Amino acid sequence: MIVALDNKYGELANSLRRMNYKVVSLYSKERVDGVLYHSTYDSDFLNGVNNSMMNSTSNHGVLIIDIKDKTPEDIDNILRKRLYTSLF
């Protein structure tokens, strides 16, 4: 699975890579299954989503996940189940 994440979250990116995720920059043009952002620090994250990531590698669309207060395991669970309820 491919996820997009701002480059400033290197520790989280490394954790996700260890879980066999491909992690790309939030502002890349690569197709992704999930976009990860932090609601406190990434107020402009929608620009990255709108610019480059509305195409998904799956048939289920792109999950947009707020990583605030979530562990890498929480994020993995959300991505695998493709279930997430919190929005803004």
Residue 40: predicted pLDDT: 78
In a domain, 51, yes or no: yes
List own/partner pairs for 76-85 with CB under 8 A and 24 or more apart. Answer: 76/16, 76/19, 76/21, 78/34, 79/1, 79/3, 79/21, 79/33, 79/34
Residue 86 forms part of a structural domain: no
Look up the pTM and report it. 0.76
Express as a percent the part of the chain with pLDDT over 90. 43
Would you say residue 88 lies in a domain? no
Domain for residue 21, yes or no? yes
Task: Tell me the pLDDT of the chain (88 aa) as tens digits.
Answer: 999 998 899 999 999 999 999 999 987 888 899 989 888 777 666 655 555 445 545 555 788 899 999 999 999 999 998 766 655 4
Give me the number of domains the chain comprises: 1
**Which structural domain range is residue 62 located in?**
2-81
